[in-house]
Amino acid sequence: MRTLTVEVMVFNVRAGALETLLVRGPGNVWGLAERPVSPGRGLAREAEAALAEQTGVRGAELEQLFTFDRDDAHVATVGYLALISAERHPVTPGQDVVEVRWFRTDDLPDLRPEQAEALQYATERLRAKASYAPVAFVLLPDLFSMGELQSVYEAILGSSLDARNFRRDVLAAGVVEAAGRTRSGGPGRPAQLYRWRGGGFSVVPSERRVARAMGTDRE
């Protein structure tokens, strides 16, 4: 009696590109982490469970996206959106899962058309969300440079930002504080490091709107 399921669309940013987490089941077909809903447990809880069971990812922030029609036996599915750092959340295939892998969002394997559509919608919502909620901090380590912060936003928004405006607006928004340290590491001048300060993390956006959104409380 699988009348209702949940499914989870998970995103990450790596090397300046947006990535999606998919699972490959016994049928050798890639798809989203999903799970039938049992009464009394709460939809968000079920979505967390689906994600934990099938990919090993725990503790992600989930946001309900949309409830999609499905076929006759499987009436509907409630889609959830999550944004996590791949480094902090190693994935391990659960039972009934052959493989779990990140795919670049612009280069996905074949998916069932409903899921491809749902992912398309999720990408749009994630972009919109970046302009009103401080979405990037879950993806970054505790200390990060302005350049890293900016490139996370560029990957999510799919467009490039002006570094001077970005820096000015982020600092003016006061959502970030200088850690007082710098990091040399690679080539180029060492970067000042920042840490995020603020309570929590959580449409054609401007740079200032992105910056202001970083100060918004979760949801």
Partner DNA sequence: TCAAAAGTGTTTCTCTTACACCCATGT
Partner DNA sequence: ACATGGGTGTAAGAGAAACACTTTTGA
Q: Which is nearer to DNA, 77 or 131 (CB)?
A: 131
> What would the two tokens of residue 132 be?
């009103």
Beta bridge partners of 104: 19
Question: Considering the rule CB under 8 A, would residue 130 count as an interface residue with a copy of itself?
Answer: no
CB of 44 to a copy of itself, least distance (A): 8
Q: Which stretch binds a copy of itself (CB under 8 A): 10-18, 63-71, 164-172, 173-181?
A: 63-71
Residue 132: partners with Cβ closer than 8 Å, 6 or more residues away: 203, 205, 209, 213, 216
Q: Tokens for 189?
A: 């001048």
Q: Which residues are registered as beta bridge partners of 130?
A: none
Q: Which residue in 16, 26, 27, 40 binds a copy of itself (CB under 8 A)?
A: 40
Binding characters for a copy of itself, 176-215, by CB under 8 A (x = yes) = ---------------------------x------------
Q: Does an H or E element contain 79, and which?
A: strand 76-83
By a kind-dependent CB cut-off of 5 to 8 A, residue 206 interacts, out of a copy of itself, DNA, none, with DNA
Of 4, 111, 191, 213, which one interacts with a copy of itself (CB under 8 A)? 4
Q: How far is the CB of 158 from a copy of itself (least distance, A)?
A: 20
Phi and psi at residue 170, to the nearest 5°: -65, -45
Which residue, 44 or 146, has its beta carbon nearer to DNA?
146
Of 61 and 154, CB closest to DNA: 154
Q: How far apart are CA 104 and CA 108, in angstroms?
A: 6
Residue 208 interacts, among DNA, a copy of itself, none and using kind-specific CB cut-offs from 5 to 8 Å, with: DNA
Distance in angstroms (rounded) separating the CA atoms of residues 113 and 60 = 26
Task: Indicate the SS3 state at residue 144.
Answer: strand
CA 106/CA 19 separation, integer angstroms = 8
CB of 63 to a copy of itself, least distance (A): 11
Distance CA 142, CA 27 (A): 40
Nearest-5° angle of CA 89, CA 166, CA 158? 55
Asked if 90 interacts with a copy of itself (CB under 8 A), we say no
Site of interaction with a copy of itself (CB under 8 A): 1, 3-4, 37, 39-40, 42-44, 64, 66-67, 69, 71-73, 75-76, 78, 132, 203
